[in-house]
Chain A
Amino acid sequence: MQHPSVNTLLAEIEELKAKLSEADQLIQAIKDGEVDAFAIGSEAGPEIYTLQTGDYAYRILIEEIGEGALNVTEDGLIVYTNKAFHGLVGLPYEKVIGTNVSQYIHPDSALHFKELFAEALRGKSRGEIELAVDGAVIPVFISLTSLQPNLATVGIIVTDQSEKKRNESTILNYQNSLEEKNMALLRTNEELASFAYVASHDLQEPLRKIQIFSTRILEKAGDSFAPDVADYFRRITEGAKKMQRLIQALLQYSRLTISDVRFVPTDLNALVQEVRNSLAETIEENKATVVISALPEVAVVPHQMSQVFSNILLNSIKYKRVGADPFITISTQLVDSGSMPVSGPHKPQRFWQISVADNGIGFDPAYSERIFEVFQRLHAASEYQGTGIGLAICRKIMQAHHGHITAQGKPGEGSVFNIYLPLNL
């Protein structure tokens, strides 16, 4: 074995001395706080060690964070406060340090805070309390953590809830006012409905008198009327009759809102069959054919739904084309709400689409909305009799069923009325 030479050993000693001195200087520098970080070379590359930088960064973060941060002794003395907390209580740093945290707690929260603090001494706790600062009450959320065993203190993070509470109360106010407006709207609707009912009911009375006394005049003196007087008289009684029909239709329309309705799972096949039977005379008179393919079972208000089908069928028969016996088909399919020709927002849902198609005179598509409005008519009263309320009733009923009704048509090519009933109510 070869011994190293004295020179080599001396050189190694010098090198070790230099490294030792370097290490001494480094330790001194660390002690003096002159070093933020140092790197130690290793096989995997340099490893960075930081001392003050870490602390410094945390301190800056805690100082600048929007939430209050406190370090409090077990007796409640504040030994550290960040900007946010002394800003929250409106005092400079020096005035807060050394004070007891309990002096910032609202009396109503004192007990709760005491419990939270006691709990935190055994680990952690959190809760909502109120601070009292200069007579103002600040709602805060506090999170307490014992810093044992390293420090005999409790760290407290204080989150100002004022804005959140303000927002909550604003939202609550909006909600309340929205509810109030809803109620007012509901009341107005009910009032309107009962107004329409009462008005049309009361309108009937004077009309009844006109009709009764007209009849009485005819009975007593009709024989002595000159032809032109008889004609005027006939026009009066016809006008009265027409007004009676209108008022009764209006009554029927307004009753839709005030009558109570019960949804019953209903076999629409049976329901439409019944409607067809009740219209048998009219169907026969007009040589109409009504073909019904399989219909679903749906929860509906039966008498209302009967009225919808009755009104549509009568409509199809009334507006038949000259030279073509009415041919009406009723068919069903399931559709997605997206594919429905219905305006306005509605949530995606599946609907039964029941189509009533006829070969009648049809109508200009420009009027496909207007025909559902009260007293809207597309034809002169002399051409086609009617009150202009039948389809309005249909639409109102379909709205009450969370459904829709639409109409498609082309002049001379017939009409299709589509009824949409939600698959799941």
Chain B
Amino acid sequence: MRTRILLIDDDLDDQLIFREIVEEIAPEIECVDAYNGLEGLNLLAGMDPAPTMIFLDLNMPFISGWECLERIRKDQRTSHIPVVIMTTSDNQVDKKRALELGARAFVTKTADLASLRLTIRKMLTAPPIS
């Protein structure tokens, strides 16, 4: 079975680009999309095997990325999965809070495709934390 990652982002443009980049740099990885927090958590609960990494937007309807992050970290079944925050925010307060809540990384969405590619590659190839 292919390695799977979960992308939770309500921005369909960002979803498209993200999927294309993942396919480009790691075609063996399957990318599952959810376009809001509620859908993301539901999908996550039913994924077997669980995704190896979750990319999570913060500002989303229904259930925000913040709440998603907290729930993912609290749930024993998902607390081991690294969560990468991908947001339009470049606010240091947001970044600090996200890392304190247990996010692996905090990435500000950029207009620069090359740097986005680099970031995703770095995240996907990073060794799992013990």
Q: Which residues of A contact B (CB under 8 A)?
A: 201, 204-205, 207-209, 211-213, 215-216, 219, 240, 244
Find out whether the CB atom of A216 lies under 8 angstroms from the CB atom of B88.
no
Find out whether the CB atom of B113 lies under 8 angstroms from the CB atom of A219.
yes
Are A215 and B113 also in contact (CB < 8 A) when A204-B88, A205-B88, A209-B13 are?
yes
Does B129 touch A at the CB level, under 8 Å?
A: no
Find out whether the CB atom of B88 lies under 8 angstroms from the CB atom of A212.
no
Min CB distance A246 to B, Å, is: 14
A209 (CB) vs chain B CBs: closest residue: B13
Min CB distance B94 to A, Å, is: 12
User: Please, could you name 24 A-B residue pairs with CB atoms under 8 Å apart, sorted by A?
Assistant: A201-B88, A204-B88, A205-B88, A207-B111, A208-B88, A208-B109, A208-B110, A208-B111, A209-B13, A211-B111, A211-B112, A212-B13, A212-B17, A212-B111, A212-B113, A212-B116, A213-B13, A215-B113, A216-B17, A216-B20, A216-B113, A219-B113, A240-B111, A244-B111
Min CB distance A170 to B, Å, is: 47
Cβ contacts under 8 Å, B110 to chain A: 208
Cβ contacts under 8 Å, A216 to chain B: 17, 20, 113
Min CB distance A211 to B, Å, is: 4
A244 (CB) vs chain B CBs: closest residue: B111
A153→B101 CA distance, assembly (Å): 84
Cβ contacts under 8 Å, A244 to chain B: 111
Min CB distance A243 to B, Å, is: 11
Interface string of B80-124 (1 = CB under 8 A from A): 000000001000000000000000000001111100100000000
B114 (CB) vs chain A CBs: closest residue: A215
B17 (CB) vs chain A CBs: closest residue: A212
A205→B13 CA distance, assembly (Å): 11
Min CB distance B22 to A, Å, is: 14
Cβ contacts under 8 Å, B17 to chain A: 212, 216
A8→B4 CA distance, assembly (Å): 154
A248→B111 CA distance, assembly (Å): 13
Q: Which residues of B contact A (CB under 8 A)?
A: 13, 17, 20, 88, 109-113, 116
Cβ contacts under 8 Å, A209 to chain B: 13
A251 (CB) vs chain B CBs: closest residue: B90
Min CB distance A21 to B, Å, is: 111
A201→B116 CA distance, assembly (Å): 19
A219→B21 CA distance, assembly (Å): 12
A258→B25 CA distance, assembly (Å): 41
Point out which of A207, A212, A213, A244 has the most chain B C-beta atoms below 10 A from its C-beta. Answer: A212
Cβ contacts under 8 Å, A213 to chain B: 13
Point out which of B17, B111, B112, B113 has the most chain A C-beta atoms below 10 A from its C-beta. Answer: B111
Cβ contacts under 8 Å, B20 to chain A: 216
Cβ contacts under 8 Å, B88 to chain A: 201, 204-205, 208
Cβ contacts under 8 Å, A212 to chain B: 13, 17, 111, 113, 116
Cβ contacts under 8 Å, A201 to chain B: 88
A170→B20 CA distance, assembly (Å): 70
Min CB distance B21 to A, Å, is: 10
Please name 14 further chain A to chain B contacts, defined as beta carbons within 8 Å, in addition to the given A204-B88, A212-B111, sorted by A numbering: A201-B88, A208-B88, A208-B110, A211-B111, A211-B112, A212-B13, A212-B17, A212-B113, A213-B13, A216-B17, A216-B20, A216-B113, A240-B111, A244-B111
Cβ contacts under 8 Å, B113 to chain A: 212, 215-216, 219
Min CB distance A194 to B, Å, is: 13
B24 (CB) vs chain A CBs: closest residue: A219
A216→B110 CA distance, assembly (Å): 14
A209→B88 CA distance, assembly (Å): 12
Cβ contacts under 8 Å, A207 to chain B: 111
Cβ contacts under 8 Å, A208 to chain B: 88, 109-111
A204 (CB) vs chain B CBs: closest residue: B88
Min CB distance B19 to A, Å, is: 12
A215→B88 CA distance, assembly (Å): 19
Min CB distance A260 to B, Å, is: 11
A207→B113 CA distance, assembly (Å): 13
A216→B18 CA distance, assembly (Å): 12
A204→B88 CA distance, assembly (Å): 9
B109 (CB) vs chain A CBs: closest residue: A208
A219→B113 CA distance, assembly (Å): 10
Min CB distance A242 to B, Å, is: 13
Cβ contacts under 8 Å, A240 to chain B: 111
A208→B112 CA distance, assembly (Å): 8
Min CB distance B109 to A, Å, is: 7
Min CB distance B102 to A, Å, is: 26
Min CB distance B119 to A, Å, is: 13
A219→B110 CA distance, assembly (Å): 17
A215→B116 CA distance, assembly (Å): 12
**Nearest 10 CB-CB pairings of A with B:** A211-B111, A215-B113, A208-B111, A209-B13, A212-B113, A212-B111, A212-B17, A205-B88, A244-B111, A208-B109
Cβ contacts under 8 Å, B112 to chain A: 211
A244→B112 CA distance, assembly (Å): 12
